[in-house]
Copies of this chain bind each other. A is one copy, B any other.
C-alpha cells in the first residue's frame, strides 16, 4: 500500500535519483549532462531543476544517500574463550561484506571519480570511511589486552589487515570494475588474511 500511494512528484524525484546514481556511476559526474540525465530519468529537465537547484546539489544529495546505505556499523566482539583464528576470520568476513558490497563500491566510485583532483575533500571522505574500519581494531585491542596476541602498534597492525582485505576486495572493484567477490572468495580471503595476521602477531 505504501508503494501504490506515492505521489507523482515523489516518483519523478526517485526516477531522477535512480538515473543520477546510474549515470554518475557509469560515466562520472562531469560527463553526465543534465539534459542526458533528464532523458534517462524520463523527466523534463525543468523537473530535475525543480528537485535539485544545481548539479552539485544533486551530487551532494547522492553522497549523503550513499553514506546512509553503505555505512552499517558491524559489531564484532572479542570472545576470550574461542579460538582466535575462528573468531578473527568471522570478523574479517563481516568487514569484507561491508567493503565489498554494491553500496560501498558505488559510493566509493562516485566519491573518487568526483573528487579525484580535490585532494583536500578526498582526504576528508577517506577519513570518514576509515572511521568505520573499527570492528577489527576493537577486536585487536581486546585480544591484545587479553594477552593472546602481541602487537606493538595496534593501529598499524589494523591497517595491515585492511590493506590485505582491500587489495582484493576493494581496489580491483574500484579501478578495474572487477565483479564483487563470491561468497567462496570472501571466505577464502577472510581465512588467508586471518591466518597471515595471526602468524605474525599471535
Interface set of A (CB-CB < 8 Å, partner B): 26-28, 30-31, 112-113, 116-117, 119, 122-123, 126, 156, 159-160, 162-164, 166-168, 171, 175-177, 192, 195-196, 199-200
Contact = CB atoms under 8 A, between A and B. Distances in A.
Contacts of A195: 200
Contact of A164 (B112, B160, B171, B199): B160
A196 B119 CA distance: 31
Given A122-B176, A196-B196, A163 B167 contact: yes
A31 B117 contact: yes
Contact of A117 (B113, B156, B160, B168): B113
A166 to B, nearest CB: 7
Nearest to A26: B117
18 contacts: A28-B116, A112-B116, A112-B175, A113-B116, A113-B117, A116-B175, A119-B176, A122-B177, A123-B176, A126-B175, A160-B164, A160-B192, A163-B166, A163-B167, A164-B164, A164-B167, A196-B196, A196-B200
Contact of A175 (B28, B122, B196): B122
A123 B159 contact: no
Given A26-B117, A116-B112, A200-B200, A167 B176 contact: no
Nearest to A127: B176
